[in-house]
Amino acid sequence: MGQYFHELTQEEFDKLCATGMTWRECAEQHPQPNWCQYPNAVCGEMGCWSLMYQDVTGEEFCKQCALYKPPHT
């Protein structure tokens, strides 16, 4: 497993897109954060829009989401 999806820089994301990798492959290499309970959050348009649009900068961003689960529970 590589880094979490939300940790990718724009340059890293652009390079992944250029490879033609599927969203499934992307999710396997760069999974959603462990506090995210959104089903298949790294799944393009059907995933978490905040994650897909690279708005998520860390756990604090997601704390108001109904699908947020603290990683310690």
Look at residue 37 and tell me if it is in a domain: yes
Beta-bridged to residue 36, according to DSSP, are 68
Look at residue 22 and tell me if it is in a domain: yes
CA distances from 33 to 17, 18, 19, 20, 61 (A): 20, 23, 23, 23, 12
**Residue-range definition of the domain harbouring residue 13:** 5-62
Look at residue 69 and tell me if it is in a domain: no
- Per residue in 23-47, pLDDT tens? 999 999 999 999 999 999 999 889 9
- pLDDT level of residue 1 (50, 70, 90 thresholds): low
Q: Is the pTM of this model over 0.95?
A: no
Look at residue 68 and tell me if it is in a domain: no
Beta-bridged to residue 68, according to DSSP, are 36
Domains held by the chain: number: 1
Q: Is residue 73 predicted with pLDDT exceeding 70?
A: no
Q: Tell me the two tokens of residue 37.
A: 């309970």
What's residue 5's pLDDT? 94
- pLDDT level of residue 71 (50, 70, 90 thresholds): confident
Look at residue 38 and tell me if it is in a domain: yes
